[in-house]
């Protein structure tokens, strides 16, 4: 079915570092009902303690920051997560504009003559992940819009059927 392969890159370790740098771990751990020093150690790849899935889910839920989940998925060589609970058809233009902006930032960084640092690479990864997220949300919003209108859904089904039969010939 799926052929998952764990990456030799340290995507999850980098995600833990980035998450730790982005958030106040003491306040976050208190909100989560966890020991701040333990969480700090678990987010430090140089320590032997490791973050559990449950802790990762709690931290992601409290912060609404998908860095840890995206890092775990990248470690498995998968695309970033897409929070489908955010989908709203009226946000379709915002999704498309945000995706375009992320791709624009990525393009600007690629043509830039600046030195390619690890911070720069993290920025590229964030741009790509945000772009993928927004494009996926846009696609789901369009699909929802099409299927909420019976006439459009029927037309889309007919067109996909015609396309499939043309491809077979």
Same domain, 93 and 131: yes
Same domain, 109 and 35: no
Owning domain of residue 42: 11-75
Same domain, 163 and 94: yes
Let me know if residue 20 belongs to a domain: yes
Same domain, 105 and 158: yes
pTM above 0.75, yes or no: no
Q: How far apart are CA 100 and CA 31, in angstroms?
A: 35
Same domain, 92 and 164: yes
Q: pLDDT value at position 169?
A: 44
Same domain, 29 and 68: yes
Same domain, 67 and 102: no
Residue 87 · residue 145 · CB < 8 Å: no
pLDDT tens digits in sequence order for the chain, 169 residues long: 456 677 677 899 999 999 999 999 999 999 999 999 999 999 999 999 899 999 999 999 999 999 999 999 999 988 888 888 777 778 888 999 999 999 999 888 888 888 878 778 888 888 899 999 899 888 888 887 777 776 655 665 655 666 555 554 4
Single out the residue in 21, 48, 75 at which a domain terminates.
75
Same domain, 96 and 60: no
For residue 23, what is the domain's CATH number? 1.10.260
Name the domain count of the chain. 2
Let me know if residue 104 belongs to a domain: yes
Q: pLDDT value at position 146?
A: 76
């Amino acid at each position: 079915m799926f052929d998952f392969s764990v990456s030799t890159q340290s995507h999850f370790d980098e995600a833990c570092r980035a998450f730790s740098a982005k958030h106040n771990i003491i306040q976050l751990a208190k909100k989560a009902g966890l020991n701040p020093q333990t969480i700090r150690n678990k987010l430090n790849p140089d320590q032997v303690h490791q973050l559990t899935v449950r802790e990762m889910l709690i931290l992601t839920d409290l912060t609404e920051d998908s860095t840890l989940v995206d890092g775990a998925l990248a470690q498995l060589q998968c695309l970033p997560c897409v929070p489908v609970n955010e989908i709203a058809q009226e946000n379709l233009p915002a999704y498309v504009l945000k995706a375009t902006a992320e791709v624009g930032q990525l393009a600007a960084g690629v043509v830039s003559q600046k030195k390619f640092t690890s911070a720069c690479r993290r920025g590229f990864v964030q741009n790509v992940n945000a772009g993928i997220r927004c494009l996926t949300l846009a696609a789901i919003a369009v699909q929802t819009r099409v299927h909420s209108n019976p006439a459009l859904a029927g037309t889309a089904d007919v067109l996909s059927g015609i396309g499939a039969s043309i491809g077979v010939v």
